[in-house]
Structure 1
Amino acid sequence: YLLGILITIIIGTFLYQKYCCNCSCKEDTKSTTDSLSVDAGSSLSLNKFTLNSEEFNYQCNDNFNFLKNDYKSILPIGDSLNLGIDNLKAFFDKNPNQKLLITGYATSEEKNTSAYPNLGFARANDVKNYFVSKGFSASSFDTSGEIRDVWKMNSDTILGPVDYKLLSVEPTATTEKVDWNAMKTKINATPLTLYFKTGETDIDLTAEQRQKVADLVRYLDNVSDAKLSTIGHTDNVGDRTINTRLGLERADFARDYLAKNGVAKNRIETSSKGPDEPIADNKTAEGKSKNRRTVVTIK
């Protein structure tokens, strides 16, 4: 009887090791390997906040992380990263001629859910906004975005898809003023125009429109007193009062959409022209579709 119990225990242990443990261990190994895929040939510090220059040096084993397909960083961030940002703020206060280039990354498999040219650019802009919330001037930053097909991940979290580089800039006040005035003129000459289907307020941006959003944000970052104006327009179908209200709803929707993408809401003014300023003939379907629009300019 005792021998039978012993044999049962031995056989059970053998079967467990063979069919349960080995299987789960293999699956765990595969999952870990897939989630930690990284471009071994890259010289970027993919998972660290690193700044190395002659004047400022800081590195920590932390960085901003993002969920897959998202452009909002996961908060709160680590204490060591916040300490690095605080140290950088003190350095910038003593060295106003410094700028920080923030480069965000995304993979080509991720969906760009932002209003920017690519998801990497949107991530860089979100990180910039965090720095601004810590007391930095928005004009202290340049942002860019790149697509890299291999990145370090943990499940659905993109680990540290942000890179940093210090830049020294010493523009004269005259040159700076002329540059931004010229940029404002260029932006307003061909403003960001968002089109809507009848009775709808959804926005589906083209590549050209996404670049215009990036240009608007860059201008706002560097001209502190600038504001945006969003004016809603409609076709002439239906009651004028209702159309005027619909135009304002579209302008408000555009404002909220830009705010969701990191533009300060208090820097966007909204208004409606309803059906009063058509740019095309309302007698045709094509003309009506052109008149259902919101125009975003710099005030």
Structure 2
Amino acid sequence: MSKKALYLLGIAITIILGTFLYVNFCCNCSMKTPVVDTEKVPVAAAQDATLVPFILNGSGIDYHANDNIKFLKNSFAVILPVGDSVSIGVENLKTFLIANPKQKVTITGYATSDEKNTTAFENLGLARANDIKKFFVSKGLPDAQFDTKGEITDKWKMSLDTLFGPAKYEFAASEATPAATDEWSVLKDKINGDPLILHFNTNKSSDKLTDVEKQKVADLVKYMEHVKDAAILVVGHSDNVGNRDSNVVLGQKRAEFSKTYLSKNGIESSRITTESKGPDEPIGENTTAEGKANNRRTVITIK
């Protein structure tokens, strides 16, 4: 082979080898890594798409948690246990409400239009609001400081069959706290704001009170001793087992039993009025044993 041919062959081999090396080792060098414009990416895109934060926001309280109270679709019952961050928020709310006894909180529960309402409440959202209230009260929050509402919405954030946080909490402007010198007005507000509630087994009564209930009795006695024109109202309630007339009678018997108990503890019976609502004002579901137990009660307040 001539020198010229060898020279041309060397050039060709160099070109082929150079092309091979470029394609296999250097091609990616010229490719640019795509840059994400973070200003155009919503924050929620990096989070759980089902996120509905647990928010308690009012004058004197501001708590946010990414976790929330959850419900199964078509169910009114809070899924227990709740997350730690929700529990911390509930404890913060408890401290806040006890320090502000005139503060009212409205719980609005939500349900979607395609969910079935099998409760006695007018809609599933209201049933959920009442179960949240029940959960709060079970943690020591004052029952009297909550109101409940229910609303139906077209959709809510879900994961499979679980709804995340279908509720909101509205804090009404609290009234001014009575002057510290008006001791008896303060005590009356305390008694009626978190009244003495006695519960009963079916067709049975018991005078075994907890320490908290005994303190409430002591507050009633103290108030009645110092406010001579005051009177006590005892209202008896029942579950819905049996016919209504029998339950009204049973509610009255419970009210009379509570009146007798108060009389034995120093309150004149002539200053105690009793009445019965029977099954007409339930606070729990009469479809469950726990709900029925909550409904079998007397509520004792200052008139």
Computing the radius of gyration from Cα coordinates, the structure with the larger value is: 2
Larger RCO, structure (CA 8 Å, separation 6 or more): 1
The bucket for the TM-score relative to the shorter chain is 0.3 to 0.5
TM-score normalised by L of structure 1 = 0.47
